[in-house]
Structure 1
Amino acid sequence: MPSRRHFLQQAAAGLATLALQNQALARAAARTYTNPVYTGQFPDPFVLRHQGRYYAFGTTGQARTPDGRIFTVLTSSDLVDWQPAGGALTPPEGAAGAEFWAPEVMYHQGTFYLYYSMGGGAIGASVGHRLHVATSKTPQGPYTQAALLDVPGSKFTIDAHPFQDSDGQWYLFYARDFTDSDQGYRPGTGLVVDRLVDMTRLAGESRTVMRARHDWTVFEKNRTMPLYDNQTFAEWHTLEGPFVRKHKGKYYCFYSGANFLTPRYGVDYCVADSVLGPYSDAGADKGPRVLGAVAGHVRGPGHHSHVLGPDGKTEHLVYHAWNKAMTERQLCIDKLLWTGQGPRCQGPTYTPQPFPQ
């Protein structure tokens, strides 16, 4: 029969184990991160979560990664500690000197699809930008260009964002230029959506999601545009970087607005009952409601993506913001909250924050 001493020893061991567990939990809770989570140049960040690992893709412009590819790739297990993983896209033929912007990757039926825009740069400001898609069998690549996603009637199409609705149908949201001022809208870059026939073909049924109509989204005044026969616009506005999230039956199209060099740049949203709209931006007249600059600390936060944390539940915004010298746009993360007033980012933060869940 166990002695009283034996029971006391067991109880003590149990208490010691509980104390160690509590200490471990306390250490985990005490772990923090501070933005930026990657201090190198990493504009227009998109993060893919695949089989418990994170893959981040960033714009390289005309530059090439050390392995001669396009779009910087980073990997992480926790959204905070990022390691370089080379470049994503094998340079397409005939693209020497072109700019490559805003990569986004989706996984569908065994293939990874990389969406991006290409154009401008050394091949000519009058060339504009076109959307393309490349494919790979692994998330980090290398990707090979597969198709041009043609958008007739537009000389400037950027920031492709593929979105799969709950019925399985895929759509492509992107940004394109509008030069008219019909119905009170401002000339500039706006947001549209089209159905994807498959992962590499648009249906050609584009609908306008949102155009600029508020003062804060102005990119530049008295802007001369080579793409449009050097026409000068009294005001040129910008809505870009769409990212769609379906929440409680409604479709939220997040976007970045204004000039990315200015303190006005930030993230706002419009909302609809259907993926094809109509979308409303009611309440967006005063400035970006989701993510905005913090004077003296954070400038130009935006062009974001959404991703779930390691717990598979907690939503985070992944975005870029300028360093203090404004020489690099760096990778940042903060939690996304759904409030009674709509989606809001718990940031941008610049002080230590609890580690992502």
Structure 2
Amino acid sequence: MDSGQIYLADPTIFHHVDTYYLYGTTGDPKWGKNKGFLVYTSKDLIQWSGPKGAKCGLSLAMGDSYGEIGFWAPQVFEYKGLFYMAYTANEHIAMATSKSPLGPFVNTSKEALKAPVKQIDPFVFFDEDGRKYLYHVRLTQGNRIYVAELQDDLMAIKPETLRECITGELEWENTQKTDWPVTEGPTVLKHKGLYYLIYSANDFRNPDYAVGYAISESPLGPWKKFDKSPIMYKDLVGENGPGHGDVFLDHQGDMQYVLHTHHNDSLTQPRRTAIVKIKFVEEKGSPDYLVMEKDGFRFLKTK
């Protein structure tokens, strides 16, 4: 393995003040079993340092939080003077808070958000009107993306607002034609009054794991899938299984997408972390569309 390569799956980058904070599902064998979330930092997206989490490199550690296994797909954001981490453990979604992006993130109640089914891959979206939405995946006849409005304390959804957004129905979304189609890893952007739901499809172990998106006039849908999806796929960047990432703004205000790929052509794990530029392109008579700029694709490494 490349000793400098960062191995985080389902990654997210939180940009705060002058620092980028990188989190994800831990995959590097040298850090042991998945018992929390490592965090790396950078000033320029090129030179990375870490892990730098408050607890032996971990920003959130088992014992401070809900869950014992399967710490997956974190998202970090600032809300009401605290830093929040929405995350998956035990195939349920929970919230933890910290005074620093480095942690320690703590879930004092040790409880998950209530739901009648298993749910993973949280993404909290703050709309311009002050409403907050939880996009997530529910495990019910496939990995299906749902949305619901959140209570102001972010610790529960408003059940009456729950809606299904996306399921795997198109050929590119289920290339192995499985009975359990997978759509997951939601990220939502608002652009020119429209909502863009970016998601990944296929099982993550499938080399055809890829990224597409859908558009809606409302955060609750209905959603229309972009007819030229996927916009990130193996032949675009020459790497198997690219996807399950998050969009962030860099120092220049440009959008970038952080994602993972397979380890190589024969191994899925540990997955490698990369970034690629993403942008909106205007099209007369239609909503702006999203493209990933393959020339800007590169893997993230420590010094």
TM-score by length of 2: 0.84
- Structure 2 residue corresponding to 1:298, chosen from 239, 251, 267: 239
The answer to whether the Cα contact below 8 Å between 1:46 and 1:56 also exists between their aligned partners in 2 is yes
1:344 aligns with 2:299: no
Q: Secondary structure at the match of 1:216?
A: helix
1:276 shift after superposition: 1.0
For 1:79, the aligned partner's letter is: L
Where does residue 245 of structure 1 map in the other structure?
A: 189
The answer to whether the Cα contact below 8 Å between 1:117 and 1:130 also exists between their aligned partners in 2 is yes
- Structure 1 residue corresponding to 2:48, chosen from 66, 82, 86: 82
- Aligned positions of 1:45-194 closer than 5 A: 45-60=11-26, 65=31, 70-84=36-50, 85=52, 86-92=57-63, 98-119=69-90, 129-146=91-108, 147-152=111-116, 154=117, 156-179=118-141, 188-194=142-148
Where does residue 209 of structure 2 map in the other structure?
A: 265
Q: Which is worse superposed, 342-351 or 324-333?
A: 342-351
For 1:209, the aligned partner's letter is: C
The percentage of aligned residue pairs carrying the same residue is 30
1:195 aligns with 2:149: yes
- Structure 1 residue corresponding to 2:162, chosen from 206, 210, 215: 206
Separation in 2, partners of 1:219, 1:208:
22
- CA deviations on 1:92-138 (whole Å, 9 max, x unpaired) are 3797751111011111011111111111xxxxxxxxx1111111111
TM-score by length of 1: 0.72
1:275 shift after superposition: 0.9
Q: Secondary structure at the match of 2:45?
A: coil
Count how many residue pairs are aligned between Structure 1 and Structure 2: 281
Separation in 1, partners of 2:295, 2:144:
24
Task: Return the index of the structure with the highest Cα Rg.
Answer: 1
- Stretches of structure 2 that go unaligned for 5 or more consecutive residues are none
1:91 shift after superposition: 1.0
1:321 aligns with 2:277: no
For 1:163, the aligned partner's letter is: F
**RMSD between aligned residues:** 2.8
* Shift in alpha-carbon separation, 1:323–1:64, aligned structure 2, 3 A: closer
Q: Which is worse superposed, 271-280 or 320-329?
A: 320-329
1:308 aligns with 2:249: yes
The answer to whether the Cα contact below 8 Å between 2:65 and 2:107 also exists between their aligned partners in 1 is no
- Stretches of structure 1 that go unaligned for 5 or more consecutive residues are 1-35, 120-128, 180-187, 223-234, 353-357
Where does residue 254 of structure 1 map in the other structure?
A: 198
Separation in 2, partners of 1:96, 1:65:
18
- CA deviations on 1:171-209 (whole Å, 9 max, x unpaired) are 110011232xxxxxxxx1111111110222211231111
Separation in 1, partners of 2:105, 2:270:
25
Where does residue 171 of structure 2 map in the other structure?
A: 215
1:148 shift after superposition: 1.5
* Shift in alpha-carbon separation, 1:237–1:148, aligned structure 2, 3 A: same
Separation in 1, partners of 2:84, 2:298:
35
The structure with the largest helix share of the pair is 1
For 1:178, the aligned partner's letter is: T
For 1:50, the aligned partner's letter is: H
* Shift in alpha-carbon separation, 1:102–1:351, aligned structure 2, 3 A: closer
- CA deviations on 1:279-322 (whole Å, 9 max, x unpaired) are 111515xx51x2111279311110111111111x1111111112
For 1:189, the aligned partner's letter is: N
Q: Secondary structure at the match of 1:346?
A: strand
* Shift in alpha-carbon separation, 1:111–1:274, aligned structure 2, 3 A: same
* Shift in alpha-carbon separation, 1:201–1:309, aligned structure 2, 3 A: same
The answer to whether the Cα contact below 8 Å between 1:61 and 1:101 also exists between their aligned partners in 2 is no
* Shift in alpha-carbon separation, 1:95–1:252, aligned structure 2, 3 A: closer
Separation in 2, partners of 1:189, 1:239:
5
For 1:74, the aligned partner's letter is: Y
Q: Secondary structure at the match of 2:44?
A: coil
Where does residue 12 of structure 1 map in the other structure?
A: none
